[in-house]
Every structure is written in C-alpha cells, then in structure tokens.
Structure 1
C-alpha cells in the first residue's frame, strides 16, 4: 500500500452508479456509431433525398417522384418512388391545358421545375372541384339518373325515352320562330 493513492471517499453505491453511467455512455456511443454507419451506407448507395434547386429542370418521369407530389426523390434513381396520385399523364394533361408551365429545350423533351409544380398545385387547390354529388338536383332528375332500375324496365325503354326527348327538342327547333317576321325567313 506504500505506492497507492487512497481513493476519494466514495461509497460503493456511488461507484457502481458512476460505472453504470459510463456503460450507458458507451452504449449510447455504440448506438450512435451504428446509426451513423447506417446513414453513411444509405448515403453511399444514393438512397438519400436529393437536394434540388427550385428552378432545376426535371423530366416528367423524375418530377412525379418529388415530395411535393407525394413521391420520394433520391440521389440514386433506383430508390426513387413515384407518386401514387400524380402520374406523368396527369402532368402532360396539365401542360396541354396550359395549367403547368413547361421548359422545352427542344420539340421532343418536356421539363418542369419544383417551383412551377408548386404553383400548379396551389392553383389546383384554389380552383375547387365541381360538385359531383346529385344532392342538389330535383327528385325527378335523380329518379331518371338512378343506376338502379325499377323492376320491369329495360335499357331499350330508357334509350327510347331519351330518343323521344331528343325528337321533341328537334321538332321544337324546326318550328318557325314567333319573333321572326315571315319576310326575313322566306324559303327558296
């Protein structure tokens, strides 16, 4: 005992708690190391979100993978996930209707940007959808448009009713107008 320094006055309980704290810290460091390794591996593979500029041109096939459209856009194209609700066809239709601005470097390729996609989405949300419910229609209209038919009816009967209505309209259109003078509508 001649060369050893005496330990500070620490009780055994305090010493065990200190070791537990050290073990917890080491475990946390190992866990953090594992998490960092996982993140690094994902980064190395390219399975991390790509940081794209708002005005960077994107092919429509890549644009549908953007988070703005509920997709996953990663550095590595193999890990990209397309939006389930917005498709390339949806974007093409919006471009045709002049709702979505497009970058067109040549006559073949179409490109969009994150900024134009966000503007298009905001415009779509502002428009509101036309009402598809039939609750505002009269009872007679709802009865005629019902998908279920009363027993004993047939498609022929329904189509004849529509045909009869079209014939009545045609007959009304063929009649001479009461506001037009006979001089100006003289037939040759």
Structure 2
C-alpha cells in the first residue's frame, strides 16, 4: 500500500503550512445579536414593524426555526454555566464535610484513648483497651444495620420522571 505523502513532508505537500487553529468558545447567552431573525435581513415597514407580506412562508418559518435553535443553544449554554458554578460550590462543600469528618474522627480517637486510660486507672490497660474497642464495635454494628435499612428503601427508578415522560406523546397529539 502506498501513500501520497513522503516522509518529512507536511500533509499538504511541499511548502504547505496548515492554518493555525484557535479554539473558540461561543457564549450564546451573552452574544445573541448576530443570531436572531433580524440578522437574516428582515425588511421593516415605516412604522418599525417587520414587513412579513413581502416574505415567503418558507423564509418566515426559517427565521422562526433559526430563532428557536438559537434560543435552545443559549439556554443550554446558560444551563452549563450555572451547573458548573453549582458543581464548584458543591465540591467545596464536600471538601469541608471531608475535613469535618476527619476532625470528628480525630476527636473520637483521642476521646477513646482518654477513656481507655481512665479505665486503666481502675483495671489493667489491656482490658480497658478491649472495653473501648467493644464499645466502638457496637457503635459500628448499629450504624451498619441502620445504613442497610436505608439502602433497602432506595428505589433507583425515577418514578415521577417515567410518569411524566409517558404523558409527553399524548400532549403532542392534536385533540
């Protein structure tokens, strides 16, 4: 199998330099002035209203379609921006909860050590440590049983969404 390219040559042939590609991100929510129906050159009457009598039905439908498409792009862009901001806040909140959990763990650890040493003043240290470990075992078992009950109550199927989506085709039919 042969290729039209020779080693060491750019893909476009000798002397070819590909055009620089600049990544562009369109902010439809902020820049809508070029994407509305007026940009298609809709003529206006002397009173300032669109002159729809000189336009065909096809061009009017085309303008409406373009406006709807632009509106949907703008709404999606806005939703992306909002979701990104909310996700950032949620991530920061989760980090703070993680720090609080670690601090709580450290408190529980040192209180457990303090309880062990307090018990060690009355009984041998090994038995004091065993008593504290058994207490933590009971706490862990209770938390496990409660967590398992909560997970058994979880329904992964979004019942309301399925119900409303099943109603959409009927809503679109003419009555």
Task: Identify whether the pair has TM-score above 0.5, normalized to the shorter chain.
Answer: no
Q: Which has the higher helix share?
A: 2
Q: Over alpha carbons, which structure has the higher Rg?
A: 1
Q: TM-score, normalising length from structure 2?
A: 0.26
Q: TM-score, normalising length from structure 1?
A: 0.25
